Amino acid sequence: MKKATDILSGEHKQILKLIDLLCVRCNELEKEVEIDKEFFQKVIIFIKDYADKFHHLKEEDVLFVEFGKNLEDAHCDPTKQMLYEHEQGRNFVVGMEESLKEENKDKLIENACNYAELLRDHIFKEDNIFYPMINEVISSDTQNKILSKFKQVEEKIGLKKRKELMNIIKELGIE
C-alpha cells in the first residue's frame, strides 16, 4: 500500500538536492566578490514555495494533524519540535532575503549554511524516526484520507505555481 510518507520522503530527496547545490554555491561564493543574485533568488523561491508550501504544509496541515488524533498509541510526540524547526527554517530564509537586499555576502552564506544544516538534520529525523512512528499508529483508512488531502494542498497551490516550480527545478539542474 502506498504510504503518505513515501510522497513526503520523495520530496525530501528533491529538497536535499537543492541543499547540496546551495552548499556548493556558497563555498564558491566565499572566493567570489559578486553575489549571483539570480541563482539565490531562485533558491529562495524553491525554498518558500516548494520546501515550505508544497512540502511543509502537507506535514503541518494534514499529516501531523492526523498523527495528533492517534497520540494515545504513540510513545512520544515530536510534532512541536518539528514545527519549531520549520519556523527556524523560515527565519533563515528571511535572513537570506535580507542579505540579498543588503548585498551582504557573509550574512547570505551564514543563513544559507544554517538552513542547510537545519534541514538535513530535520529531514533525517522525519525519514528515520517520525515517519516510521506515524506509520505505526495510523490506520490504512487514515493513510488514504491523508493521500487525498495531500492532493487538495497541491491543488490549492495552483497549477501555475507548480509549473513555475518545475521550471526552477529544471533551471537549477536538480531534477
CB of 15 vs Fe ion, minimal distance in Å: 8
CB of 21 vs Fe ion, minimal distance in Å: 18
Is 118:87 a contact under the CB 8 Å cutoff?
Answer: no
Which single residue is written with the C-alpha cell 539542474?
A: 173
- Of the ranges 17-25, 54-62, 92-100, 156-164, which one interacts with Fe ion (CB under 5 A)? 54-62
Complex with Fe ion: residue 42 or 120, whichever CB lies closer: 120
Quote the Cα angle for 54-60-63, to 5°: 95
CA dist 71 and 162 (Å) reads 33
What does the per-residue mask of binding to Fe ion show for 93-132, with x meaning CB under 5 A? ---------------------------------x------
CB of 115 vs Fe ion, minimal distance in Å: 13
User: Which amino acid makes up residue 118?
Assistant: L
Complex with Fe ion: residue 40 or 64, whichever CB lies closer: 64
- Of the ranges 23-31, 57-65, 94-102, 162-170, which one interacts with Fe ion (CB under 5 A)? 57-65
CA dist 1 and 106 (Å) reads 47
Complex with Fe ion: residue 48 or 107, whichever CB lies closer: 48
Is 15:119 a contact under the CB 8 Å cutoff?
Answer: yes
> How many other CB atoms are there within 10 angstroms of residue 69's CB atom?
10
Q: Could you tell me the CA-to-CA distances from 121 to 93, 103, 108, 115, 125 in Å, in that order? A: 17, 28, 20, 10, 6
Task: Tell me, by CB under 5 A, how many residues bind Fe ion.
Answer: 2
- Of the ranges 56-64, 70-78, 108-116, 139-147, which one interacts with Fe ion (CB under 5 A)? 56-64
- Of the ranges 35-43, 55-63, 101-109, 154-162, which one interacts with Fe ion (CB under 5 A)? 55-63
User: Using CB under 5 A as the criterion, which residues of the chain lie in contact with Fe ion when the complex forms?
Assistant: 59, 126
